[in-house]
Amino acid sequence: MMQSLVRKAEQGGWMPIFPCWNSYTAAMIGDHAQSVIADAYVKGVRNFDIQTAYRYLRRNAFDVNADPLSYANGQGRRALASYLKYRYIPLEDSVWQAFHKREQVSRTLEYAYDDFCLAQLAKGLNHTDDALILSERALNYRSVLDPSTGYVRGRHADGRWITPFDPFALRTSFITEGSPAQYTFFVPQDVPGLIRAVGGNDRFVAKLDTLFEGGHYWHGNEPNNQIAYLYAYAGAPWKTQARVRQLIRDEYDRSPGGLSGNEDGGQMSAWLVFSMAGLYPVCPATPYYVLGSPALDAVTIRPRTEGGKPGKPFTIQAQNNSAGNVYIQSATLNGQPFSRPYLTHADIQRGGILRLRMGDKPNTVWGSLPADRIPSAFPER
């Protein structure tokens, strides 16, 4: 799959952003081949032309396509010139040559994440200068986070915030298929920084609760899908456990229409498979999986070695599991006490057994200590 993307880039001159029908398209926002390829590299998939991949990924991230015809065809990032100039895409910059024509805040947030992904690949390939630039650009989400409201918000080129503003309004012109409140949590690359920006752990957890309890969460739109797992970053993994099990129960069923939303390349099913197993990759291009609440009593993952041979199996066992026992009471990894609310890719690759003892009441201590949280990719600033 990685080499297929490389071949497409070689044939068309740009890394495809949303390829369909053997062609470039200008359909969706973001530049997520960056995420796909960087995640493969970080997790040990190296048997493709990485150097050529990097060259074309870098072109997407740094070079503005000045050719009107190929730009309209979907080659190169939309509105990249504005993004590079302002560190966000202002409301004045609409993309008339695309299916999604405005949606400037969503584009900014997704480009910031994509820049983070390319930064991880640049570090791995020793492109130090690129990695520094891209790591700074990964913080561009701050440019559209309004400190007075704690939500992302449309912004003009002169810095003014759009008015009037309702963070819970759906189909807002500067947001893709959702609300500002939902997209505020699309900062997978720097959740600790987002927590600080909105006022700390308690306020962050309260904002998450408002989203779910106020009926503002929408599982059927992919940029929402990591949100339930974000409680773990703020020291409240038991809330992740409850929300995930609730979503499995309420958003899916066995009918012909039993998916929560448009399948969109498999994401709705992928979320369900990961979540029923008990873990989720909140930020592709990093080696971490946040633990949720397994809906299955036992799941075995059979990783492959770099040479493609079977590795040691990794099993997640949920003891005393039931529809009511959704909370992790304690855990062991290979027989040793385990307090982290996340696994690393290396944990899985090494093989072993993660045993989770489940119960019907939250253990508000397990996984809550600062030392047990997912490491931040950015120092505090």
The pLDDT of residue 28: 87
What are the tens digits of pLDDT across the range 175-191? 999 999 999 999 999 99
Q: For the chain, give every residue range classified as CATH 3.30.2080.10.
A: 226-374
**Strands 298-301 vs 314-319: parallel, antiparallel or unpaired:** antiparallel
Pick 263 or 9 by higher pLDDT.
Answer: 9
CA proximity to 272, closest of 242, 240, 255, 294 = 294
Q: What is the mean pLDDT of the chain?
A: 95
What are the tens digits of pLDDT across the range 313-370? 999 999 999 999 999 999 999 999 999 999 999 999 999 999 999 999 999 999 999 9
The pLDDT of residue 260: 87
- pTM for this entry: 0.96
Sign of the CA dihedral running 327, 370, 135, 346:
negative
Pick the CATH number of 2-184 from 2.60.40, 1.20.1610, 3.40.50, 1.10.1740: 1.20.1610
Burial class (CB in 10 A: 0-12, 13-18, 19+), 137: buried
Kind and range of the H or E run holding 331: strand 327-333
380 pLDDT more than 80: no
- Average pLDDT (156-163) is 97
One-letter amino acid of 49: D
Backbone angles phi, psi at 179, to 5 degrees: -120, 160
Q: For the chain, give every residue range classified as CATH 1.20.1610.
A: 2-184
**What CATH homologous superfamily does 226-374 map to?**
GH92 mannosidase domain (3.30.2080.10)
What are the tens digits of pLDDT across the range 131-155? 999 999 999 999 999 999 999 999 9
Q: Where are the alpha helices (DSSP H) in 104-229?
A: 104-124, 128-137, 180-183, 191-197, 201-213
86 pLDDT more than 80: yes
Confidence of residue 211 (pLDDT cuts 50, 70, 90): very high
Sign of the CA dihedral running 90, 199, 191, 129:
positive
Confidence of residue 311 (pLDDT cuts 50, 70, 90): confident
The pLDDT of residue 321: 97
The pLDDT of residue 304: 83
